[in-house]
């Protein structure tokens, strides 16, 4: 995943499932914090707590929706047994998805 300039972020986890509203819920976890100024680590050591970004996208049946992100407040969703933002509704908006 590429940002502005030459900054890129590796996706280390991805999950897609149908949402209860008839669209899709997509969760991505990057290998390091989005917006962090440090380069990716040269080792394969486990990332430190908070050294990642969780992006949760909720799209309707037409593929329109929004994505929110967090470096913290990540939980395991017991219904889907996957990662989720603890408070998706109050998380900052990362992007709007339109067609």
Query: For 14-64, what is each residue's pLDDT tens digit?
Result: 989 888 778 998 999 888 887 765 555 554 444 455 688 888 888 998 889
Within-domain flag for 4: no
Domain count, the chain: 1
| Backbone dihedral angles phi then psi of residue 41, each to the nearest 5 degrees | -65, 145
Domain encompassing residue 50: 11-97
DSSP label of 99 = -
Name the pairing type of β-strands 11-18 and 24-30: antiparallel
The answer as to whether 36 is a domain residue is yes
pTM over 0.85: no
Nearest partner of 98 among 55, 62, 69, judged by Cα = 62
Q: Two tokens at 42?
A: 């040269």
Coil, strand or helix at 89: helix
Whether residue 86 lies inside any domain: the answer is yes
Residues 6+ apart with CB under 8 A from 60: 21, 22, 23
**Residue 49 forms part of a structural domain:** yes
- pLDDT of 47: 45
* Residue 59, pLDDT score: 92
Q: Which of 76, 68, 36, 75 is nearest to 52 (CA)?
A: 36
Does residue 2 lie within any of the structural domains?
Answer: no
């Amino acid at each position: 995943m590429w940002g502005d300039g030459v900054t890129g972020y590796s996706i280390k986890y991805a999950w897609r499932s149908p949402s209860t509203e008839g669209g899709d819920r997509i969760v991505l976890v990057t290998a390091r914090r989005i917006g962090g100024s440090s380069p990716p680590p040269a080792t394969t050591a486990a990332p430190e707590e908070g050294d990642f970004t969780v992006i949760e996208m909720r799209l309707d049946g037409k593929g329109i929706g929004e994505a929110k992100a967090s470096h913290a407040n990540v939980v395991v969703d017991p219904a889907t047994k996957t990662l989720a933002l603890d408070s998706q509704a109050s998380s900052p908006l990362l992007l709007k998805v339109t067609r």
